[in-house]
Amino acid sequence: MEALTDIGYMKSVLQKHGFHFSKALGQNFLTNPTVCPRMAEACGLTKEWGALEVGPGCGVLTRELAHLADKVVALELDARLLPVLEETLAEQDNVKVIHGDVLKTDLTTLLQEEFGDRPVAICANLPYYITSPVIMYLLESRVPAECITVMVQKEAAERLCAKPGTRECGAVTLAVQYYAEVEKLFSVSRGSFMPSPKVDSMVIRLKPKKELPLEKEEEKRLFSLIKAAFGQRRKTLVNALQVSGLQKEQIKEILDKAGISQTARAEQLSMEDFLKINILAGTKSGL
């Protein structure tokens, strides 16, 4: 079995199937032989586990996952890659490739159907154009995975792993960190891909929290407050939070009760501060 990180071999298989890379689908395939084994290793897989891969491309990471897991399901949007994967994964009898869009797939049902009660890890070299939507989709739908190991643009990794109170912290940081513990694992240079993207990447790992403090309705309000606060991050909260439907006087009262300065801006707040504001805003709106 030839290595898919052998550029000559990869090119010949892709050519044979008349495949051309699509920029729109974020197709940058890994050619650095050290990256996929490290990513698969980081999932903590054993032969009792299932693995879901998003966007297998030509199957380079899929093969590594298949070595470690009992079964791998790989979800690929680009139908042109299905015959390629049939060839490159011919020797992996524990892999099932499904044609579909991750953002339109009911993953909880899929995982239940494919893996039953087995623990599951999700692993992906994510297409850059939908990094945050995919991560938020996985977390908001509370997909029953033990861990999510993904490669993302370095800047996106900095944002997702930022500490509250720093400049890198944004609405998406707080949203992701509400649902999961998140950590940076290792950097991957742009030269590790074919074709090379214009930016470097980083592998990060998210561990979804088993218990969340809020019900769905309260979560919705929390995220609309966070979005409003960061939507105009240069403004003080008193001004920015009005977008969420609260009156200026109500916001001042809420901040007072929460012990937060009237001149504070979104990036100075911790998640606990937003949770306090959320409870008080709920009282105000009668929710």
Residues near ligand SAM (CB under 6 A) are 25-30, 54-57, 60-61, 75-78, 81, 101-103, 125, 127, 130
Residue placing its CB nearer to ligand SAM in the complex, 27 or 244: 27
CB of 42 to ligand SAM, least distance (A): 14
Residue nearest to ligand SAM (CB): 55
Contacts for 18 with CB less than 8 Å, ≥ 6 apart = 80
Residue placing its CB nearer to ligand SAM in the complex, 104 or 210: 104
CB of 34 to ligand SAM, least distance (A): 13
Q: What are the φ/ψ torsions at residue 59 (nearest 5 degrees)?
A: 100, 15
Residue placing its CB nearer to ligand SAM in the complex, 190 or 252: 190
d(CA 76, CA 113): 18
CB of 31 to ligand SAM, least distance (A): 8
Task: Count Cβ atoms below 10 Å from residue 115 Cβ, excluding itself.
Answer: 20
Looking only at the bridges linking them, the beta strands covering 71-76 and 50-54 are: parallel
CB of 60 to ligand SAM, least distance (A): 5
Looking only at the bridges linking them, the beta strands covering 95-99 and 180-188 are: unpaired
CB 201 within 8 A of CB 151: yes
Q: What are the φ/ψ torsions at residue 233 (nearest 5 degrees)?
A: -65, -20
CB of 195 to ligand SAM, least distance (A): 11
CB 77 within 8 A of CB 101: yes
Sign of CA dihedral 120, 126, 129, 131: positive
Task: Count Cβ atoms below 10 Å from residue 250 Cβ, excluding itself.
Answer: 16
Residue placing its CB nearer to ligand SAM in the complex, 63 or 71: 63
Residue placing its CB nearer to ligand SAM in the complex, 78 or 146: 78
Residue placing its CB nearer to ligand SAM in the complex, 56 or 170: 56
CB of 57 to ligand SAM, least distance (A): 3
Residue placing its CB nearer to ligand SAM in the complex, 113 or 272: 113
Contacts for 160 with CB less than 8 Å, ≥ 6 apart = 132, 135, 152, 172, 173, 176, 182, 204
CB of 94 to ligand SAM, least distance (A): 17
